Amino acid sequence: MIREPAVAGQFYSFDGENLEKELKKAFSFSGEPKASKNANKILAAVCPHAGYMYSGSIAAYSYKALKEDRTPKTVVIIGPNHGGIGPAVSVYPNGEWETPLGKVEVDSELAEKIAGGKFSLDEDAHIYEHSIEVQLPFLQHVYKEFKIVPICVMAQRLNLMEELGQRLADVVKDGAVIASTDFSHYVPYQEAYDKDFKAINAIKDLDEVGLFDAVEKYGISMCGSGPVAAAIVYSKLKGAKEGKLLKYTTSGDVTGDKGAVVGYASLVLTK
């Protein structure tokens, strides 16, 4: 089973050569990652999932940090379900995901360990979903060999995300977790900064409850609070002590239009 790219040519280039140029441009801000130090301190990262012209340079900060920290065998990528298709939590079961840079194998053994109960083996939720797909070229750019387990979340309930984080902590042995999210959507520039940093501060504190509280209290239109909460719970159970903000910006910083912006941030959760 091959999951073909759904947003190549929209969020990033459909041509492999041009895509590599886009990635190199994205890393020109953070710097190309150096060799892994095998420090094994980073347990999870938070990355945006907009078009590369908007958020690619922000995502690069997380991937540079992860590459320089270690080389995971499998990367679990958790993204929100934008399309409304599929069950509450969809774990992609097996096969390969294709991008213009090649194919990436799904870790079917780990996927089966994660699935069960409220977490379903399912492909349908992933067919058109972009939040996981746009992470793959970054991973292909920094790693030669790795597998993935894509997890698409529709029901972003705190208790369900706590269960997902616990399940991941139980079964992920030699891997890393990527939580895919954008922050405020289509609000004025200063409002995005003010609101988004309330969520970012909760992530830095490794406080999944505080994150959900901030999103509700301040009306933060963050699309992936659930995936981030699951990553926080997983990381704490694996020994994380803090979250570090690597970079934050908005679409308004790119386009100059600050009337209605989207917020983007890269963070890592570390021991």
Q: What is the pLDDT of residues 135-157, one digit of tens each?
A: 999 999 999 999 999 999 999 99
In this predicted structure, what is the pLDDT of residue 82? 97
As a whole-number percent, the residues of the chain with pLDDT over 70 amount to 100
Q: What is the pLDDT of residue 262?
A: 98
Q: How many domains does the chain have?
A: 1
Which residues are 67's β-sheet partners? none
**Which pLDDT belongs to residue 52?**
98
pLDDT (mean) for 191-207:
98
pLDDT (0 to 100) of residue 68:
98
Q: What is the pLDDT of residue 191?
A: 98
Q: What percent of the chain has pLDDT over 90?
A: 100
Whole-prediction pTM: 0.98
| CA–CA distance, 235 with 70 (Å, rounded to integer) | 16
Q: What is the pLDDT of residue 64?
A: 98
Q: What is the pLDDT of residue 257?
A: 95
User: Tens digits of per-residue pLDDT, 89-118?
Assistant: 999 999 999 999 999 999 999 999 999 999
263, β-bridge pairs:
250
Structure confidence at residue 87 (pLDDT): 98
CA distance 235 to 43: 6
| Per-residue pLDDT, 115 | 98
Question: 159-178: per-residue pLDDT in tens?
Answer: 999 999 999 999 999 999 99
Distance of CA 210 to the CA centre of its chain: 20
Q: Are 217 and 202 in contact (CB under 8 A)?
A: no
Find all residues with CB under 8 Å of 102, minimum gap 6, and list them: 140
269 sits in which H/E element: strand 261-270
Which residues constitute the domain of residue 127? 2-270
| pLDDT at residue 65 in the model | 98
Predicted confidence band of residue 227 (pLDDT cuts 50, 70, 90): very high
Q: What is the mean pLDDT of the chain?
A: 98
Q: What is the CATH number of the domain that holds 92?
A: 3.40.830.10
pLDDT in tens, 46-95: 999 999 999 999 999 999 999 999 999 999 999 999 999 999 999 999 99
